[in-house]
Amino acid sequence: MIKITIFVARKAELTFEEFDSYWREKHAPLIKSVTEFSRHVRKYVQSHLASSDVPLAQGSDFDGVAELWFDSVESLNTAFNEPRYMELIRPDELKFVDLDRCVSIVCEEFQVI
């Protein structure tokens, strides 16, 4: 199983609350609705920052983490090159995400516990 982990940074003009709401309420349903993309995804998880009152949550450059699982690197590449991803999902990401500040890694998952 291959997983892409994306450390997500919001656009500077958005408050955290605006970003958080958009990502959860608009972008997530869009991902599910574009079957040309979502058919390749085995699992998609959004991790939203907890309260800023949590000591370990202080000082992060990121506003959340997205994790997407695929059967292979090939299926990951196919998903992100689907025409409907490029037509619908990518433009939506540009509404709330600062892509230049995001960091992503692709890994093979090794479950320990």
Would you say residue 51 lies in a domain? yes
| pLDDT of 57 strictly over 60 | no
User: DSSP letter at 58?
Assistant: T
pLDDT for 34:
97
- Number of folded domains in the chain? 1
Would you say residue 20 lies in a domain? yes
Would you say residue 40 lies in a domain? yes
Determine the structural domain holding residue 67 and report its residue range. 2-108
Would you say residue 27 lies in a domain? yes
Would you say residue 24 lies in a domain? yes
pLDDT for 58:
57
User: Reduced to 3 DSSP states, what percent helix, strand and coil does the chain have, rounded to the nearest 5?
Assistant: 45, 25, 30
pLDDT tens per residue, range 1-41:
999 999 999 999 999 999 999 999 999 999 999 999 999 99
Scanning 1-113, the segments in alpha helix (DSSP H) are 16-22, 28-33, 35-38, 73-80, 83-84, 90-96
CATH number at residue 68: 3.30.70.100
Would you say residue 113 lies in a domain? no
Q: What's this model's pTM, rounded to 2 decimal places? A: 0.89
pLDDT for 109:
85
